[in-house]
Amino acid sequence: MTRYSIVIALGAALIATGFPNTLSAAVPEKNDALRAVSTTLNQFAVDFFKNISEENRSTNLICSPVSVSMVLSMAAFGAGGDTAKEMRSGLRLPSDDAVTKSGFESLIDILNNVKKVDLKVANKIFTASGFEVKPAFKEVTAKSFKSQAESLDFGKAEAASATINAWCSAQTNGLIKDVIKPDDLAAAAMVLVNAVYFKGQWKNKFRESLTQPRPFHVNDKTTQDVPMMTTRYRYNYGNLPDLDAQFVELPYQHENETDATSMFIILPNNVDGLTKAESNLDKVNFQDLHDRHAMTDMFLYLPKFKTQSSFNLQNTLVKMGLGRMFSDNADFTGITDNPPLKISKVLQKAVIEVNEEGSEAAAVTVGVIAVRSGHHLAVPITMTIDKPFVYAIVHSATNAILFQGHVTKPVY
């Protein structure tokens, strides 16, 4: 029997700044569910980034772990049998479905109602004309993931892919335009899309007049001049012995502590130290680093950079133990009984720009389901980000990692 496919598409775009956490406004039960989902998102993010960074060690990288986790969690509610067990385990989802549903609903509401930044999280389901989705799946995706369904004629692949890409572009302020190609829709029954867009300004902006070329050590043999921003400010700073690295937290504009969002920079002590640092990121809790408040007067030198990454995440997810959903043994009977479905592709496209004003970033993840065949110093220190480094955009109160990546050779 022919097995139709689910295509998953993810897109994320980021401009750095801060956004509020409204945990205190939520009822306790929702707080507990939100914390549970935030914890599972970060557990998945650590494993996901470790794998994706290994595959892209020598190139600049930007990805959105939360985008991947969110859209696959949506698909997991349509899975059954061993496929459901594997997806829920691999995604680290809470054992109680009610907690998962409530947690995602609260998280999406919070992220879409922040102030002082432009932040948007959106989900969408595109189904093939005539394809019937079970009411229960429609209900959970609409309520918990704020996702609406739209029917398209996938037989007209050019027009259908253009419609999907136009939606992605609209959700990411035009930063991500071409996630799906017409060929991606072959044998497709459904396309699940998640988009994340974030734009904000530094709490302490860099003065553009001070930006000038400075050396960046690509490796122990290659150095190149890159546009290096500079400022003097009191930043949260410290050492990470397990990573043989140091960190600095660059806050975005926010109204109060519960609004805080930051970019963490992790700088290895050695020019060839990126692998060790990334291999030990499971020993880093960004919320704990934020809570240190080890404010240090420093001169900070940070390169301007732009990065765009595109991935087919199937091999990465298979390595993470999420292989059954791609196979002819996949069970998505929670979506429909007939025809049988499997996920054929999980695609992510992400972009980021970091400059004197702040950062802008976006990511889109698309899934296609197919028919199966710190301390104080009197004198300021100097921290120069002049070798390959890791970065993460984190909502401090929930510890949600929105974007993560590394820079091996700054390009702007």
Please name every residue paired with 361 in a beta bridge, in sequence order, or none if there are none: 14, 352
Residues 188 and 48 in one domain: yes
Q: Are residues 27 and 116 in the same domain?
A: yes
Tens-place pLDDT, residues 84-127 = 999 999 999 999 999 999 999 999 988 887 778 778 889 999 99
SS3 61: strand
Q: Is 61 in the same domain as 110?
A: yes
198: left (phi over 0), alpha (psi -120 to 50) or beta: beta
pLDDT digits (tens, 9 = 90+) for 247-293: 999 999 887 666 678 999 999 999 999 999 999 999 999 999 998 88
Are residues 313 and 197 located together in one domain of the fold? yes
Residues 197 and 87 in one domain: yes
| Whether residue 175 sits in one domain with residue 241 | no
User: Which of 74-83, 137-146, 237-246, 255-264 has the weakest average pLDDT?
Assistant: 255-264
Same-domain pairing of 137 and 242: no
| Residue 94 CB partners (closer than 8 Å, separation 6+) | 33, 36, 37, 40, 100, 103
Element (H, E) at 392: strand 389-395
Q: Identify which of 154, 10, 363 has the alpha carbon closest to the alpha carbon of residue 162.
A: 154
Tell me if 307 sits within 8 A of 12, measured CB to CB: no
Residues pairing with 197 in the sheet: 13, 362
In a domain, 412, yes or no: no
Tell me, yes or no, if the pTM score tops 0.85. Answer: yes
Please check whether residues 260 and 339 belong to one and the same domain. no
N- to C-terminal Cα separation, the chain: 50
Q: How far is CA 139 from CA 181, 319, 409, in A?
A: 29, 31, 45
The token pair at 243 is 């990573």
Beta carbons within 10 angstroms of residue 408's beta carbon: 18
Q: Which residues contact 350 (CB under 8 A, 6 or more apart)?
A: 10, 11, 12, 13, 62, 63, 64, 67, 176, 308, 309, 310, 361, 362, 363, 364, 403, 405
- What does the radius of gyration of the chain's CA atoms come to, in whole angstroms? 21
Say if residue 280 is exposed, middle or buried (CB neighbours under 10 Å; 0-12, 13-18, 19+): middle
| Confidence (pLDDT) at 9 | 80
Grouping H, G, I as helix, E, B as strand and the rest as coil, residue 227 is: strand
Residue 231 has pLDDT above 90, yes or no: yes
Give the model's confidence band at 16: pLDDT under 50 very low, under 70 low, under 90 confident, else very high: very low
Asked whether the bond before 339 is cis by omega within 30 degrees of 0, the reply is yes
Task: Give the pLDDT confidence of 374-387 residue by residue, as tens digits.
Answer: 444 458 999 999 99
Per-residue pLDDT tens over the stretch 342-386: 999 999 999 999 999 998 888 888 888 886 664 444 589 999 999
Q: What range does the domain containing 317 cover?
A: 4-202+305-371
| Confidence class for position 37, pLDDT limits 50, 70, 90 | very high
Q: Which residues contact 28 (CB under 8 A, 6 or more apart)?
A: none
State how many domains the chain has. Answer: 2
Query: Are 160 and 238 in a shared domain?
Result: no
In whole angstroms, give the CA distance from residue 372 to residue 44.
27
Q: At what angle do helices 97-111 and 28-55 cross, to 10 degrees?
A: 80
Looking at the fold, whether 184 and 113 belong to one and the same domain comes out as yes
Here the CATH number for the domain that contains residue 50 is 3.30.497.10
User: Does 98 share its domain with 212?
Assistant: no
Same domain as 240, residue 325: no
Q: What are phi and psi of 250, to 5 degrees?
A: -105, 105
As a whole number of angstroms, the distance between CA 10 and CA 27 comes to 31
What average pLDDT does the segment 163-186 reach? 92
| CATH number, domain with residue 272 | 2.30.39.10
- On whether residue 27 sits in a domain, the answer given is yes
User: What does the DSSP 8-state code read for residue 258?
Assistant: G
- Classify residue 200 as exposed, middle or buried by CB count within 10 Å of its CB (0-12, 13-18, 19+): buried
